[in-house]
Amino acid sequence: IGGAPEGILAAAVMKCLGGEMQARMWPTQRSQVEKLEEYGFTDPERKLALDDLIRGTDVLFAATGITPGETLSGVRYFRGGARTHTVVMSTEPRVVRFMDTIHALEPEAGRQGFQL
């Protein structure tokens, strides 16, 4: 059981990786049922396939680590800048890229050299 935004993000990743998933809405309050009906979900018990969650075929997913984790490193600060770790996935072309980026946060940092 999780939130709808997290489910859509997971579905985007699965589509980029060529995987499959199923989901179901799980409203716990009458207001949530009403909101689902506003969006055209008349049967909250209906099983949703990946294509119900992500309708397009050209999907892009990107995430940058904020705190350290198993897949992405967190933001690391140093004098004059920061270093980030990002993953970008897409369906067309089907590719997964990891980016390690150094950001100059002070105007003079790049000219003086970084203190990693």
Q: What are the tens digits of pLDDT across the range 56-83?
A: 899 999 999 999 999 999 999 988 889 9
Higher pLDDT: 60 or 55? It is 60
Average pLDDT, rounded, for the chain: 89
Distances (CA, A) of 21 to 6, 15, 52, 53: 13, 9, 10, 9
How far are the Cα atoms of 75, 82, 110 from residue 105, in angstroms, in the given order? 13, 7, 9
pLDDT band at residue 110, thresholds of 50, 70 and 90? low
Q: Is 66 helix (H, G, I), strand (E, B) or coil?
A: coil
Q: Residue 57's Cα: distance from chain center in Å?
A: 17
| 22 — pLDDT class (breaks 50, 70, 90) | very high
Strand runs labelled E in 73-116: 76-78, 81-91, 94-104
pTM for the full predicted model:
0.79
